[in-house]
Amino acid sequence: MTEKSYQPKNKSPSRGRPHHSRNTNRVIEDLLNERIHVRENGKTTILTAREILAKNAVLKAAKGDRAALNFILSHMPTSELAEEFVLLVDPEDLGVL
């Protein structure tokens, strides 16, 4: 009789997560980049879910929703905010500021 008449199974632990597994951030990113057909004013356009969410936030901010306005302002580059501020402020008031 031989010492080992059978092949032992590999008992070593797996080496990390499976190659094709996705974490929550990756799943959300994929969903935000998903293209969706949207009908606006009788026309069908294709937008990403990210664009639709941004558009809805801008519309809510325009209607006076403070949370949406804060969200929009926090995601705008500061240079654009400065330009918008200058456009909204009367030139005479700039001397006071």
Number of neighbours of residue 41 by Cβ within 10 angstroms: 5
The per-residue pLDDT for 88 is 56
The per-residue pLDDT for 22 is 79
Residues 6+ positions from 69 with CB-CB distance below 8 Å:
61
- 64 class by beta-carbon count within 10 Å (0-12 exposed, 13-18 middle, 19+ buried): exposed
DSSP label at residue 3: S
The per-residue pLDDT for 70 is 86
The per-residue pLDDT for 1 is 52
pTM value? Answer: 0.58
The per-residue pLDDT for 36 is 96
Average pLDDT by consecutive 10-residue portion of the chain (97 residues)? 64 69 88 95 95 93 90 77 57 55
The per-residue pLDDT for 84 is 61
Contact indicator for 55, 36 with CB cutoff of 8 Å: no
